[in-house]
Amino acid sequence: MASSIEELVANTDTTRCVAIEIRNNSKYITLCRPSTFCESGCVFTPPGPTIPPGKKDYCIFSKTPNAACGSVGLLLYRFSNVSLAIMFSNPFDYLLYKINYGLYITDPSIEAGKPLFKSMYYDLAPTCYFQRAQLKRDSQALVVTHENLRVSATMSNNKKAIIKIDIDDLS
């Protein structure tokens, strides 16, 4: 049995995927009611229904088998009075598209769907609640905050990409 997210992804039988590992280091919040949206590809390993304080969980999104597409979409968790949206794009053709990811702390009524994905991918300007990065040769860390909470993330730049997210209390 694989013991790390890196081993799980290495053993995933696909040419493009995005694995997301969330470590909830907060003492106060529980992430719950996850939802997903796939612009391209599918959910390979679904997210857990909750991530309590002090725990971690992962999910894996994969490209559609035998299709010239990548793994592109959203993962959304709710907590307290907000939602945390994680946008990712690991395209099939790196000559036409780049690897992208983003973090957004937003309204709890927001749905994981095409409008949110397009907004995060194309439209939103960086703020303390939203950050996005297009990866080239190196990774770029993202950090968003809400009240006494900080969410930070990194993403690897390869065909089987990994996003690692830490949720921490600020006080």
Q: What is the pLDDT of residue 44?
A: 96
- Find the mean pLDDT for residues 139-159: 95
Q: Do the Cβ atoms of 25 and 148 come closer than 8 Å?
A: no
Q: Please work out, in degrees rounded to the nearest 5, the angle formed at the alpha carbon of residue 155 by the alpha carbons of 158 and 106.
A: 140
pLDDT more than 70, % of the chain: 99
pLDDT band at residue 137 under the 50/70/90 scheme: confident
- Find the mean pLDDT for residues 34-43: 98
- Say how far apart CA 17 and CA 99 lie, in whole Å: 11
pLDDT band at residue 1 under the 50/70/90 scheme: very low
pLDDT band at residue 136 under the 50/70/90 scheme: confident
Q: What is the pLDDT of residue 53?
A: 98
pTM of the predicted protein model: 0.95
pLDDT digits (tens, 9 = 90+) for 109-128: 999 999 999 999 999 999 99
Residue 52's CATH number? 2.60.270.20
Task: Convert the chain into a string of H (helix), E (strand) and C (coil).
Answer: CCCCHHHHHHCCCCCCEEEEEEEECCCCCCEEEEEEEEEECEEEECCCCEECCCCEEEEEEECCCCCCCCEEEEEEEEECCEEEEEEEEECCCCCCCCEEEEEEEECCCCCCCHHHHHHHHHHCCCCCCEEEEEECCCCCCEEEEECCEEEEEEECCCCEEEEEEEEEECC
pLDDT digits (tens, 9 = 90+) for 62-97: 999 988 999 999 999 999 899 999 999 999 999 999
- Say how far apart CA 169 and CA 141 lie, in whole Å: 18
Task: Tell me the average pLDDT of the chain.
Answer: 95
Question: What is the span of the domain harbouring residue 38?
Answer: 5-169
Q: Please work out, in degrees rounded to the nearest 5, the angle formed at the alpha carbon of residue 121 by the alpha carbons of 104 and 11.
A: 85
Q: Is the pLDDT of residue 2 over 60?
A: no
Q: Do the Cβ atoms of 86 and 76 come closer than 8 Å?
A: yes
Q: What is the pLDDT of residue 55?
A: 98
Residues 6+ apart with CB under 8 A from 169: 25, 26, 27, 28, 148, 149, 150
- Say how far apart CA 91 and CA 94 lie, in whole Å: 6
Please state the domain count of the chain: 1
